[in-house]
């Protein structure tokens, strides 16, 4: 009987450990997310889609902005996955590079703006909660994640742009390369 009790204890204990972790999320993370996401949602509604689209349309022609500011604004306001629709404002030859750049930003942005990809928060949260437990500043790590993310998507956009240009040529799609 003692043996059975020991097993039952272990069985329940395993889930009690999980329950504690869950409670930590509910009290530590959820309240912050609720207020933060509500505020950002309201801001994006107030600014309105039209204005953002008009602005983005103007700045996609600059390579530096195309792989930094454009994905940042697209992911911030339109969130994952609607942010990729911004690709329609640029010539065909840039679309693969823009997608690569934008999709690589949907996690770096969650450190400070979790609304942008709330379904996939745990890429960030998994590491960040551990970092905070060890005594680090989660806000600082979040900021660095965002800034490093911008550098990475610029690099990634430029590399993918070159590779896709090479492949367009190789496949005989010069027409697409010449498209304005």
Partner 1 sequence: MANHKTVIVSKGKNGWGGPLELTPTDEKKYVISVTGGGIHPVAREIARLAGAEVVDSFKNPVAKEQTLVAVIDCGGTARCGTYPRLRIPTVNVKVMSPSGPLAKFMTEDIFVSGVTVGDVELADSETTVAAVPKTEVDEAEVKNAEKNKETVAAAAEPVEDNSTNNEIEGNKGVMGIIDKIAKGAGSFMNIMYQAGRDTIDTIIKNIIPFMAFVATLIGIINYTGIGEILANVFVPLSNNIGGLIILGVITALPFLSPLLAPGAVIGAIIGTLVGNEIANGNIDMSIALPALFAINAQVGTDFIPVGLTLGEAKPETISVGAPAILFSRVITGPLAVVIAYFMSFTL
> What part of residues 35-64 is at the interface with partner 1 (CB under 8 A)?
37-39, 41-42, 45-46
Shortest Å distance, C-beta 1 to partner 1: 23
Shortest Å distance, C-beta 16 to partner 1: 8
Q: According to CB under 8 A, which one of 22, 32, 54, 55 is a site residue for partner 1? A: 22
Q: Which is nearer to partner 1, 42 or 64 (CB)?
A: 42
Question: Over the range 39-75, which residues count as b (16 or more CB within 10 Å of their CB) and which as e?
Answer: ebeeebeeeeeeebbeebeeebeeeebbbbbbbbbbb
Write the DSSP assignment of 25-47 as a string of letters.
Answer: HHHHTHHHHHHHHHHHHHHHHHH
Q: Verify binding: residue 178, partner 1, rule CB under 8 A.
A: no
Q: Verify binding: residue 147, partner 1, rule CB under 8 A.
A: yes
Q: Verify binding: residue 16, partner 1, rule CB under 8 A.
A: yes
The backbone torsions φ and ψ at residue 170, rounded to the nearest 5 degrees and listed phi first, read -65, -35
Q: Verify binding: residue 167, partner 1, rule CB under 8 A.
A: yes
CB contact at 8 A, 104 and 156:
yes
Shortest Å distance, C-beta 4 to partner 1: 18
Q: Verify binding: residue 32, partner 1, rule CB under 8 A.
A: no
| Nearest to 118, CA basis, from 149, 154, 75, 55 | 75
Q: Which is nearer to partner 1, 22 or 55 (CB)?
A: 22
Q: According to CB under 8 A, which one of 58, 61, 130, 139 is a site residue for partner 1? A: 130
> What part of residues 63-92 is at the interface with partner 1 (CB under 8 A)?
79-82, 84-88, 92
Q: Which is nearer to partner 1, 25 or 62 (CB)?
A: 25
**Alpha carbon distance 101, 120 (integer Å):** 17
**Alpha carbon distance 36, 163 (integer Å):** 39
């Amino acid at each position: 009987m003692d043996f059975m009790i020991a097993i039952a204890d272990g069985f329940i204990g395993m889930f009690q450990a999980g329950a504690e972790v869950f409670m930590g999320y509910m009290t530590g993370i959820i309240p912050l997310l609720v207020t933060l996401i509500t505020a950002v949602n309201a801001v994006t509604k107030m600014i309105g889609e039209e204005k953002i689209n008009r602005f983005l349309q103007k700045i996609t022609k600059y390579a530096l902005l195309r792989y930094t500011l454009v994905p940042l604004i697209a992911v911030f306001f339109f969130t994952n996955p609607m942010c990729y629709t911004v690709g329609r404002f640029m010539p065909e030859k840039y679309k693969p590079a823009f997608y690569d750049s934008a999709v690589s930003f949907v996690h770096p942005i969650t450190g400070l703006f979790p609304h942008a990809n709330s379904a996939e928060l745990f890429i960030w949260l998994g590491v960040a909660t551990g970092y905070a437990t060890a005594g680090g500043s989660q806000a600082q790590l979040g900021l660095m994640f965002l800034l490093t993310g911008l550098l990475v998507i610029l690099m990634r956009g430029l590399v993918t742009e070159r590779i896709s240009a090479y492949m367009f040529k190789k496949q005989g799609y010069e027409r697409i390369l010449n498209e304005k």
